[in-house]
Amino acid sequence: MNRVATMRGRTRVTIRRAGLAATLAGLSLGLCSCVTVFPQSKPVQLYTFGQMLPPQHLSDKAAAVGVVLGAITMPTAAVGDQILTQTGQEAAYISGARWIVPAGLMMQSDAERAFEARGQHIRLLHRGDLGGAAALLHLDVGDFEARYDTEGAAPTIVVSVRATLTRPAGPLIAEQTFTVRQLAEDNRIAPIAKAFDKAVIDVLGQVVDWTDANAPPPR
């Protein structure tokens, strides 16, 4: 795997460029799904995560609890379309690979799909439907990275999500942090992306089950 230089001493500059890269990646999709807008650039491979969420048998949602899912927050270095790695105190992005859309947007979509596929007693509401909501759910992603314990070895994907469930008026109902560690099969981009996919599906499944168990009935 061709890894980029570390961000030590250049963190702010690199993060700003990540935002620009996300914009350029969106423009490139209009031309070709796997090349950049620069004629001399090498092709960039695009990846997704969490899209194939396993459906389950759902109960009748006519009496389901209405929950509003807020905007998911993510670490600044991981919110864009670049794939973040961490080796000790050094952070870097994988060269030659991008998420097909910024990770923050894909995580939001995946969470909504997870509730549709797995939620037994939960019905997601739009953010403007607070009047019909029994609870508000906020998800804060604390870790979203390929973590290298040994240089050159296959990394472990670490995804952690802090879930906070509150009443619409503000009182806290429940709060819990979920962490999934998924070892990549190899130190190559495709297995790393696959490990991200598994980790995201796992952690969001836990969040949905926890929300099912803790969301209060409507008053």
Higher pLDDT, 11 or 199: 199
57 pLDDT band (50/70/90 cuts)? low
Which one has a higher pLDDT value, 29 or 129? 129
Share of the chain above pLDDT 90, in %: 59
Is the per-residue pLDDT at 218 higher than 90? no
- Which of 98-102, 166-170, 181-185 is predicted least confidently? 166-170
pLDDT at 58: 52
Residue with the larger pLDDT of the pair 5 and 69: 69
Q: What is the predicted pLDDT for the residue at 164?
A: 98
| Alpha-carbon span 74 to 26, nearest angstrom | 20
Is 8 a residue whose pLDDT tops 50?
A: no
Confidence at 167, pLDDT banded by 50, 70, 90: very high
* pLDDT tens sequence across 103-114: 999 999 999 999
- Checking if the pLDDT of 9 tops 50, the result is no
Q: Is the pLDDT of residue 12 over 70?
A: no
Going along the chain from its start, the domains and CATH numbers come out as 11-214 (3.40.50.10610)
**Is pLDDT above 70 for 72?**
yes
Q: What is the pTM for the complete model shown? A: 0.77
Q: Do 142 and 203 touch, CB atoms closer than 8 A?
A: no
* Under 8 Å between Cβ of 85 and 7: no
Q: What angle do CA 78, 82, 85 make, to 5 degrees?
A: 65
For residue 174, give every residue at least 6 positions away whose Cβ sits within 8 Å of its Cβ, in sequence order, or none. Answer: 163, 164, 165, 210, 214
